[in-house]
Amino acid sequence: MKLKEVAQLVEAEFLNLPEKADEEVHTACAADLLSDVLAMRGEAALLITGEAAPQVVRVADVMNIRAILYVRGKKPQKKDIVKWATQRGIVLLSTPLPTFEACGRLYVKGMRCSECSEIEFA
Amino acid sequence: MERQVFSYSVVRTGSFEDVGLISTEIKKKLEELGVERNIVRRVSIICFEAEMNISLYAERGGNIFVAVEPDKVDIYVEDDGPGIEDLEKAMQPGYSTAPLWVHELGFGAGMGLPNMEKNSDVFEITSELGKGTKIHSVVFRNKDAA
């Protein structure tokens, strides 16, 4: 699934890097607890989260997460965080939907759990 | 490749906006050196958890040293923070002494040390109350080939 399809499905807006709209993402992880993200098995391309604190983008970088989808209309409040994410190539999206609905819509269209998926990235 | 050593000081600023910056630097450095993707990930996770712990608990900060060799990556973490009262408990997943404000940042789930151990091939920790904590972690690069 392309990032632009993700955005369309969950009615999200791109907060940065719209030029990456055609990038493919197949695995996701949903967590508000960053400790859970850091303890994750497998690799998630997409992080769905209700946590908009600056640390989220650092954790995403360390975990090779390529895009963050903030739920409930959340957005990182600091401009330099968006800038930092852009420098590191991490796409930021924001959806008005709550986590369960966002995950459900993506799952139905083929997005899979990074810890259960058999897809492997080189 | 020769042994390459990098050292980083974790300064406690009282603000958590910068937490993770050192770990992402380390990650970038390892990528530049051509270290395998999976190894970079494990080392970065270990460093992130360490950076987090130092930032949360060690008032005077601490240091992270990363030594990259052809067959392994060594990570040394040291601080002169408060030390860990019950190391055995602290190594159990879910055991946490983190205050509420740490939980509010999305951390403090009691997974830090267990996660560091999980991502290490060798994990040694010593801690003394009032003196500080030292960690040595090793991630082997050729584990799958061996």
Mean pLDDT of A49-57: 93
Name the A residues in 22-61 with CB < 8 Å from any B CB.
32-36, 38-39, 43, 51, 53-56, 58-59, 61
ipTM above 0.85, yes or no: no
Q: What are phi and psi of B137, to 5 degrees?
A: -125, 140
Task: State how far residue A109 is from chain B, nearest Cα, in angstroms.
Answer: 29
pLDDT single digits (tens) A20-39: 999 999 999 999 999 899 99
State whether B49 and A38 contact (CB < 8 Å): yes
Domains contained in chain B, CATH given: 4-140 (3.30.565.10)
CA distances from B90 to A66, B93, B139 (A): 32, 8, 21
Residue A99 pLDDT greater than 50, yes or no: yes
User: What proportion of chain A, given as a percentage, has pLDDT over 70?
Assistant: 95
Classify domain A3-113 at the CATH class level.
alpha beta
Q: Does B66 touch chain A (CB under 8 A)?
A: no
Q: Domain-by-domain residue ranges, chain A?
A: 3-113
pLDDT at A117 (0 to 100): 57
Residue A119 pLDDT greater than 60, yes or no: no
Residue B90 pLDDT greater than 50, yes or no: yes
Mean pLDDT of B27-32: 96
**Band of residue B36 on the pLDDT scale cut at 50, 70, 90:** very high
- b/e for A55-73, b at 16 or more Cβ within 10 A? bbbbbbbbbbbbbbbbbee
Q: Which residue of B has its CA nearest to A65?
A: B41
**Among A39, A43, A55, whose Cβ lies nearest the Cβ of B111?**
A39
Total beta-carbon pairs less than 8 A apart between chain A and chain B: 69
CA-based nearest residue to A10, from A49, A59, A41, A55: A49
pLDDT single digits (tens) B38-76: 999 999 999 999 999 998 888 899 999 999 999 999 999
- Residues of chain A positioned with their CB less than 8 A from the CB of B97: none
Q: Which residue of A has its CA nearest to B43?
A: A62
Residue A120 pLDDT greater than 60, yes or no: no
DSSP B134: E
